[in-house]
Structure 1
Amino acid sequence: MRAWVVRAGENGERERAALEDGVLVVGWDRLALGHLSDYDTRDEIRAAVAAAYPDEGPYTIGNWTGQLYRFVHEIQPGDLVVLPLKSSRVAIGRVTGGYEYRSGAAEGMRHVRRVEWLVRDLDRREIQSDLLDSLGSLLTVFEISRFGAAERVAALAEGKPDPGRPDADEFAATLTEPAKLYEEVRRRGDGEPLTLSIRDFLAVWGVQRRHPASTEQIKNDLEARGLVTVPPFTDGTLDSRIAVLAGGAEPDESGSSAVSRLTALKAMSTMVNDVLGILGSPATETGPAPSGVSAGLTGRLPEEDDETRAIAYRVSNLDSANRMPECVRVGDSLGTATTLMVLRGYSQLPVLDTDGRLRGVVSWESIGRARMADPAPGLHAATVRGQEANGSDDLLDWIGAIQQHGYVVVRDPDHKVCGLITAADLTVQFGTRVRPFVLVEEIEQRLRRVVDRCIPLDRIRATVPRGRASRVHSAANLTFGAYKHLLKEPDNWAALGWGIDQDHFLAALEECRNFRNDLMHFSPDPVTDDQLSPAQGLLELLRSVDPQT
């Protein structure tokens, strides 16, 4: 049994029909060519998508092809599916039928799968944050497989609590404040360093994302208590693991610090490899780290004066940079490579040596060039030099190369391949990051329009300090926070003519203001659907009371 997410449109426009008719529905209406199930391979679906959408680039076509192939062929009867709803709740169903094409259905309702809805209104707060994060992709159709997702969705569908990830660090949940973290590090000493995920580490301070304010607070607390993290907690994804050490403790009898002693273990390569196989480096999803050894052994040491690394958008901040890609090995046949590329719909594959280091990349272009010289080339002849980045590199420095070549292979500090970033990954990543800004911008635009239309300028000016009033010529000159003060006045609220509860609206406005302020502080961590839902709800309310476009 597998678990999937199938969205009901970008704005939930197919949500009602999906729930009432008992179906999963996807768009792509230009593919009005009968049953997609008649197309057995990704290449056949890709050709159909490219013909229906001739203005789209190859990476968009590839991304759409993958989603449609999953919807038609990979989702099976008996699989579970999650449908995120506009109401900040989710529905969970069990797939009961194969793909159908309904030629007579309304636009946007033609590609369907039958589903039995088991739960229609599950509160998102019943789902733990790591599983919620997995639901946050902007893709319409995708599988959720990390952290025991299928079993957890099954439990939720039966009305049981989310059991949490199988490798959940129950001990980390007891570290509810910095003082407890400090006491635990002191109790263990450097012989048994405390290891935990960055997500659990941030939770000690009650935060979910790394932005300058929270990062500065945590750094100050660590410095005041003589603690350091290896690698720095500002590097990697939220699920990367770090060790917390007493970096400020005096040297031991050998004259070395706790950090140096931990790092010295890296020289013991056999031991490190065994340990990484147990706990999983940031490139794997193997299980929790044992308490005695840190996943940060191969990580870069924190530098005392390295302020520039406090917050940066690193290559390692992308999930795909920490997920071992499908690959072939030196000595494999070219047939092995092409078979994998067709099966998975890949444009290229890394070629690795026996130590896991990159020896090149094989792509459809390189295969074509090799066959021009030799009708039956081997893998070596079709292997070309690959684009290779360190996980600690600035992601922005690699965007041009990814756009030009379509990918970059990611290596860890030991120069072993640990991930692969494609142009499609960038599209999803930055689409996720842009969405909150677009949402907040529409909220502000709607507020400005209705205020300018309904409230006289003199009353708008009365909201700001007297010395600034002359510079206010419309609602566009107000700060976001000023709307709460403006609209709590009875006359101003009455002027809007809205038949909604004022107190609830102002509370939602304040919650959105806090979300907006947090958003404007750069963070390498994505905004989840759960964090976005209050602002999304406010926007839907504004669209309802002021439907003018």
Structure 2
Amino acid sequence: MGEETGGRSMYLIDGRRVMVSDLLAAGLIKAGAKLRFKRKRVGATFDATVTDNGRIRLEPAGEEFRSPSRAAMVAAGMRAVDGWRAWVVVDEGRLLDAVRQEFLDQTISTAAAATDQPTEDSTRHRIHEYLRQARRRADQQDPERISVRELLKLWGAKDRGDQVSQIEADLANHGLVTSPGFRAVTLDTVVSLTTPRDDPEEPTTAESVDIEDLPATEGDEEGSDLNVRLTVGNLTPLDEVASVSPNSGLEEAITTMLLNDFSQLAVLSGPRTMRGAVTWRSIALAMQQRPDARVADALVHAEVVTYDRDLFEVLPTLQQREFVFVMDESKAVKGIVTTADVAQRYGEMATPYFQVGELDQTLRWILSHALDISTVQKHCSRPVKSFNELGFGDYQRVLEKKDIWEKLGWPLDRQKFIVRLDEIREIRNKVMHFHPDPVSEEAIDMLRNFNSLLHRYRDPA
């Protein structure tokens, strides 16, 4: 199995979910193996067979699926279920998940022995060991807790960009999910690495089960990582929310709001019991009507939404009420999002976008005034008919040419300029490929400084 398994391991660990066909090819399960799924809660049993091409055939219906989760979902008529922890290999008396874990252990070990890139292999092995230990803790009901930022660092990522699908695949291959879902919260939110709920009738959130479990066509069974939503949880940390009880005096509410510079304050009877909110306006009206008014007299309605709710769906409510409270997967109130938060986030998203646009237009203007299009065309990697068709890669290829650089007459170091332009290109790609994490202040400063430099030297000599 040697090199073939090592190569497969390198691919799996780099972003694909393990499939039953992988177990079959590795000899860890045989064609014709009988599988059984028991729903103890309702006393139902479902049988299936592994086909010679690694699919799961339901008995006696004969429907075939690549995904254990899809097969279990259809067999039981459930909306979602973790099929890897549902199906048992009858002859061996162990879950398909256990076979998957053996496959991962085996292939990562083989890859370690075969690879000639020890640094890369060491990283894969470290991630595998971390997730294996996290799975052990999850099975013991003592889940690993880690901030999203630190979780991403394990894969060498600073934000939820291109590596998200790889991270999700690695988690799924170890039978793990994050609670709350790490896509839908802030980078500093602490999440737990857990296993999906046993025998769930409904998923708790969009990310509480493997994405392959959700209804889709047969062609989508292997899963899809398309997720470009901005959620309310991306705007607020899920943490304890300052609050008062309905029986509190207004002095307590006023003091809490003044100390924390709040415009509104949650009114709770318990972490999961929202009574409403008080605002400066509602407090003023209550005190005007009754000098001895208490919090209960100043209550206004407060909307509560789940942390993974699409922000665009909540915007009408925010426009009307100016705030919504946010609850986590346990239904506890853990955050608040205001219109000011939304304005700040859209400002964070718009600033780098406009900075990149200004850079693009300025570089294009500089080249069009210093050169003719025929000079530029021979340095582009594709046919271009006008300066308007140039991109950042074209700017680099053109400006790195010594003779063209000299035509500009800039008293600047060409090599350093090109290095920074390449960094700008990477920022540009991040800005244009949307994901929920804002561009860093360092990157925005880099854009601003580069724009300032171009404005200073943009007139050709």
Q: 1:513 aligns to what?
A: 425
SS in 2 for 1:386: coil
Counterparts of 1:225 and 1:347, CA distance in 2: 44
- Select the residue among 143, 152, 165 that pairs with 1:216: 165
User: Hey, which bits of structure 1, 4+ residues long, moved more than 6 A?
Assistant: 297-300
- Select the residue among 389, 410, 418 that pairs with 1:477: 389
SS in 2 for 1:234: helix
Q: 1:301 aligns to what?
A: 208
- Select the residue among 448, 452, 465 that pairs with 2:364: 448
Q: How does 1:514-533 map to 2 (within 5 A)?
A: 514-533=426-445
Output one character per residue of 1:368-411: Cα deviation in whole Å (capped at 9) or x when no partner: 44456545433222212112221111112222322332211112
* 8 Å CA contact retained: 1:198, 1:237: yes
Q: 2:197 aligns to what?
A: 260
- Select the residue among 232, 237, 240 that pairs with 1:315: 232
Aligned positions, number: 324
* 8 Å CA contact retained: 2:325, 2:336: yes
Q: 1:232 aligns to what?
A: 181
Q: 1:489 and 2:401 equivalent?
A: yes
* 8 Å CA contact retained: 1:205, 1:218: yes
Counterparts of 1:454 and 1:419, CA distance in 2: 54
Counterparts of 2:274 and 2:298, CA distance in 1: 15
- Select the residue among 239, 252, 258 that pairs with 1:336: 252
Letter in 2 for 1:316: G
Output one character per residue of 1:288-338: Cα deviation in whole Å (capped at 9) or x when no partner: xxxxxxxxx99962233254774421111113x424343221210123323
SS in 2 for 1:414: coil
* 8 Å CA contact retained: 1:298, 1:414: no
Per the TM alignment, residue 363 of structure 1 is displaced from its structure 2 partner at its CA by 1.9
Letter in 2 for 1:184: Y
Q: How does 1:87-166 map to 2 (within 5 A)?
A: none
Per the TM alignment, residue 345 of structure 1 is displaced from its structure 2 partner at its CA by 4.2
Output one character per residue of 1:235-273: Cα deviation in whole Å (capped at 9) or x when no partner: 31212233445xxxxxxxxxxxx543699xxxxxxxxxx
* 8 Å CA contact retained: 1:176, 1:203: no
Q: 2:336 aligns to what?
A: 420
Per the TM alignment, residue 215 of structure 1 is displaced from its structure 2 partner at its CA by 1.2
Counterparts of 2:342 and 2:159, CA distance in 1: 20
SS in 2 for 1:413: coil
Q: 1:266 aligns to what?
A: none
User: Identity over aligned residues, as a percent?
Assistant: 29
Compare CA radii of gyration and give the structure with the larger one: 2
Q: 1:500 and 2:412 equivalent?
A: yes
Counterparts of 2:173 and 2:325, CA distance in 1: 39
Q: 1:201 and 2:117 equivalent?
A: no
* 8 Å CA contact retained: 2:172, 2:210: no
Counterparts of 2:209 and 2:129, CA distance in 1: 22
Counterparts of 1:298 and 1:226, CA distance in 2: 17
Counterparts of 2:192 and 2:242, CA distance in 1: 29
Counterparts of 2:122 and 2:331, CA distance in 1: 36
Identify if the C-alpha distance between structure 1 residues 200 and 440 changes in structure 2 by more than 3 Å, giving closer, same or farther. Answer: same
Query: What TM-score, normalized to structure 1?
Result: 0.53
Query: What TM-score, normalized to structure 2?
Result: 0.62
Counterparts of 2:246 and 2:284, CA distance in 1: 19
Identify if the C-alpha distance between structure 1 residues 299 and 353 changes in structure 2 by more than 3 Å, giving closer, same or farther. Answer: farther
* 8 Å CA contact retained: 1:185, 1:193: no
Q: 1:362 and 2:308 equivalent?
A: no
SS in 2 for 1:542: helix
Counterparts of 1:302 and 1:525, CA distance in 2: 23
Q: 1:542 and 2:459 equivalent?
A: no
Q: 2:129 aligns to what?
A: 183
Output one character per residue of 1:194-240: Cα deviation in whole Å (capped at 9) or x when no partner: 332221221121111112x2112223344455554444332312122
Unaligned runs of 5+ residues in structure 2 are 1-120, 215-223
